[in-house]
Amino acid sequence: MAGPLDAMRDTRREWSINRARLIACLIGILMLMAVLVYRYYSLQIIQHDAFLTQSDRNRIRVEVIPPTRGQIVDRKGRLLATNQPTYVVGVIAERATDLPSLLEDLQQRLALTEDELEAFREGIAQRRPFETVPIKVGLNEQAVATVAVDLHQLPGVVVEAQLTRHYPFADVLSHVLGYVGRISLEDLQALEADHYRGTLHTGKVGLEKRYESVLHGRPGYQHVETNAHGRLLRVLEKQPPQPGQDLRLHLDLDLQQIAAEALGTQRGAVVALDPLNGGVLAMVSNPSYDANLFVEGISYRAYATLRNSMDTPLLNRAVQGQYPPGSTVKPLLALGGLSRDFITTETTVRDPGWYRIPGDDRRYRDWTLRVRGGGHAERVDMRMAIAESCDTYYYDLAYRMGIDTMADVLEPFGLGRPTGVDTTAEQGGILPSTRWKREAMGEAWFPGETLSAGIGQGYMLATPMQLAQATMVLANRGTSFVPSIVHRVGDMTVGGVPREPLKMHEEDWRAVIEGMVDVVHGQRGTAASISKGITYQMAGKTGTSQVIGIAQDAIYEEEKVSERNRNHGLFIAFAPETKPRIVVVVLAENGGGSSAATPVARRVIDAWLNELSDV
């Protein structure tokens, strides 16, 4: 049977079919090989750069190196604000396999607060890929150990050592230096984001904020190689950061501490200036607070305690507190009266202990009416009016000058506008005039209000820093400078900016300053009590400003007035009288009168001229 079957096979046809199948297979194989070759070519040649970048991202990442913040030192180089090492625990979200579970674990290990978790969530939302977001700052070695020992079980967690801000003198300098705090969303909107990558803090108030741009510096970068778990293997390339510049202040730490001690528990402020350049030698506001509380985030309870305190410790009274200047404006008005020929050094005014505007039955009392039952003398001249702070004399001068002339006279001394001192949130006070009242209150000005302004009461308000600047004008007989806390930024000198000089006759300056010398050294001077044992000549002026109004026929009895409604005490001074080396202003808030302020000024001036005379 095989023979006939073989005879029936179409060998040619079978060969043709097999050949076609073979060709089809070869073509298929060739096509597959072509696809593989093309894909290989595409991966290795065409898309080489893209896949190399992705590969490097898995192996190499860019880390930000935050800059070291500049330090702040006093005039003698003593550290007032510095940086100290601390540990930070952070998270790289891309490395975390289960971020919610990781956060729960870290919350148990580190006792994270809701504030810290909220800050972390904000950081996660703003970060760039593979950027470390801090979750706990300021850890000690024991706390770090609880995390470091199990890092292999905490993918995405990193522990780093960083520098954080520290204020060695706590509350003594808080209102001068201010403080840094954690960067908020509001901060990020105002700051240059690229300059603050990797930075946790920024200046919030005071010098820390005013000089943020020079204190902060610029960040650096490094390319690092990591393993599959994100652990650092080596640094491939590094661009170091540019550190912030240091600030050297005019301020003297010893004088600052002496001023704070002299003020004691009294609410108030002390400002001391160098009349030769406007440098701030001391600036105390009491009560104060510990700036270190704010660096890593103050608790809601602690902040609420500070914010709601009746003593307002967060208020920088030296530049933000606005008070009626009281009789401290009398030397300024005397100079204005002399320069505009309203008075001469020989002009006298009858003083029965009160003053009455022509055609008005109301009596405006002198402070001596309550104490002595009458005035200072039958007739009072300018020198006596300054030395004994005669209100009647200045009622008469104010009435004749008028409020608008008074405003014109006081404005060159710097009242009614910020001094420009290099800090934050400075207030400008109020220098009243008819225009001011019309614009601010929509009311006309009344003659009786002029008399109140003539003794520094009524609507008139000034900060201690403004009074210090005005006193500097007196001390230098017309020349002055914009007050400056900072003396040098790095190697560059700042400050010492002169103000427009106030030109007056030398004999007018001399006459007014003689009256101010009598305030301290005269037998009946209002600050004569501090002259005992003094070894130099001080020129000063006391001031008392009312907190509450007293009816026309009522008598102010301090013991019957609540402590917070008692009069403020003020004292402005400079010394020595010739070639002054220091200007001092003291505010004793609710101190009852100038007697609460004068001893503080004496202590500060004594320290500068005697104990610190080598400066």
Dist CA 363 CA 392 (whole Å): 10
Closest by CA to 461, choosing from 413, 496, 428, 500, is: 428
Query: Which sign, positive or negative, has the C-alpha torsion 460, 461, 466, 469?
Result: positive
Distance set, CA 179 to CA 82, 167, 192, 494, 504 (Å): 11, 8, 20, 21, 42
Torsion angle (degrees, nearest 10) of CA 294, 299, 303, 304: 170
Cis preceding-peptide flag for 67 (omega within 30 of 0): no
> Which two tokens mark 43?
């991966």
- Single-letter code of the amino acid located at 413: F
Residues 184-209 as b/e (b if ≥16 CB within 10 A, e otherwise) read eeebeeebeeeebbbbbbbbbbbbbb
Asked if 134 and 88 touch (Cβ cutoff 8 Å), the reply is yes
């004691």: which residue's tokens?
264
Dist CA 268 CA 317 (whole Å): 7
Closest by CA to 316, choosing from 418, 164, 183, is: 418
What is the phi/psi pair of residue 81, to 5°? -140, 120
What is the phi/psi pair of residue 150, to 5°? -115, 25
Contacts of 136 (CB under 8 A, 6+ apart): 88, 89, 106, 110, 112, 116, 143
Dist CA 52 CA 267 (whole Å): 67
Asked if 534 and 605 touch (Cβ cutoff 8 Å), the reply is no
Dist CA 291 CA 166 (whole Å): 9
Q: Where are the beta strands (DSSP E) in 102-245?
A: 133-139, 157-166, 179-182, 201-205, 220-226, 232-239
Catalytic: which of 174, 285, 288, 327?
327
Tell me whether residue 452 is one of the annotated catalytic residues: no
């290795």: which residue's tokens?
44
> Which two tokens mark 117?
């978790």
Torsion angle (degrees, nearest 10) of CA 340, 335, 324, 272: 150
Asked if 555 and 561 touch (Cβ cutoff 8 Å), the reply is no
Q: Where are the beta strands (DSSP E) in 290-413?
A: 348-350, 354-355, 364-365, 379-381
Asked if 176 and 485 touch (Cβ cutoff 8 Å), the reply is yes
Cis preceding-peptide flag for 287 (omega within 30 of 0): yes
Dist CA 132 CA 181 (whole Å): 19
Dist CA 385 CA 453 (whole Å): 16
> Among all residues, which ones are annotated catalytic?
327
